[in-house]
Structure formats: C-alpha cells, structure tokens
Amino acid sequence: MALLTKKDASLITDPLADNNPITIQVLGICSALAITAELKASIVMAISVLFVLGAGNVVISLMRNIIPSKIRIIVQLVVVAALVIIVDQVLKAFAYELSKTLAVFVGLIITNCIIMGRFEAFALGNGPWKSFLDGIGNALGYGVILVIVGFFRELLGSGTLLGFPVLGDPVEKTGLYATGYENNGFMIIPPAALIVVGIIIWVQRSRNKALIEEN
C-alpha cells in the first residue's frame, strides 16, 4: 500500500497553492508583515511553524478522544505553548542573535490563527498520520509565502540576501549601485509586505480562474 494516497498527498499540496493559509484563507498575516524584512528571519519563522504545527497536530490528534470539549482550547494552547518554548530554547542555544530579533514573534506563534485553526478544524477529527500531513502542508504553504516576501523585501530594501550583499556596495558605489541605483527604504517597513502579498494573490488568482469565481 502506498505511503501517500492521492487524498493524503493533497493535504500537503493544496495549502501550497489553491488553499494557501495566507493568500486564500488570509491567516497568519501579522507575522508576514512583521518579520519578513529579512530573508533569514522569514526562513527561521517558517521552520519554527513547520515544527510546531506538524508536531502539534499529531499531539492533538492522539489526545482527541480524551480531551473534554469544554477545555479543548486550553489544552490546545498548552500544547502549542510547550512546543513554542522548545523552539525558543533551541534558537537561544544555536542562533542567539537571531533569537533576540524574533523573540516576540516566536512567542506569538502560540496565537497564530493557522495553528489553532488546524488543531480545531482538522487534528481533532482525524488520525495522527493525516493530521501530521495537514500540519506539514499548511506550514509549508505559510512558509513559502514568508520566504517569497522576505526575499523581495530584503533584496529591494537592503540590497542583500541572508545578510550578504548581492547588488554591490552602496557606500563604494560598486555593482548595480554604480549605475545610480538606490535601495528602496519603503520595502523594509511593514506596508511593503502587504503590497508583495497582494501581488502574490493577484498572480495566483490570475492563473486560477476558479479562485476568482469562488470569491
């Protein structure tokens, strides 16, 4: 028997495009605005959410039959809080400077609508394997958008990628800067993220007419 059936595979592929949590479900927008000025921060946040959502969905699924309905939200918050603490401690141990930059936003993973939404809408009603796939799929869909936004914001706003200059030296006027190019400071402030996300949504919907008809 195949490890992934077509229906199982769709749990991963659908959130990457036609059911993306940011561009279609409009969830997780706050972090997309706040931490995507740098590509490195975008990647770390994407990996953090991948771990929290993948592991959290499995834990909630395993506990779904013993969680009293009246306290299910509290249980979900405890699970996600525990996983976020693990992420925070790992960042402090291996990437301390980055952990200081992301400190507040890593903590806010606890209230990320995507995570709580998948716990409530999927993990509570499905087995561990499907819940794991659903968590991975939605986290990847979220992460892809963060990385795309972070890529363009850092490149156009700072002329760097992952902190390395790729357009030349703006002080010495080398590379592209020798032609008179200047970094676009607007790209490093949060409103620029909305514009980039809006462009992604436009491209996505122009390629899939069904998304336009549904809305």
Task: For residue 142, give both structure tokens.
Answer: 């979220």
pLDDT at 159: 92
CA distances for 1 relative to 5, 125, 137, angstroms: 9, 23, 22
CA distances for 48 relative to 22, 64, 105, 143, 196, angstroms: 16, 23, 11, 9, 22
Tell me the pTM: 0.87
Task: For residue 126, give both structure tokens.
Answer: 């499905």
pLDDT of 117-147, one tens digit each? 899 989 999 999 999 999 999 999 999 999 9
Give the H or E element holding residue 160: strand 160-161
Domain regions of the chain by residue span: 23-207
Identify whether the C-beta of residue 114 lies closer than 8 Å to the C-beta of residue 142. yes
Q: What are the phi and psi torsion angles at 139 (to 5°)? A: -70, -40
DSSP assignment letter at 166: S
Three-state SS at 164: strand
Residues of the chain under the 70 pLDDT cut? 1-3, 103, 111, 209-215
pLDDT at 152: 94
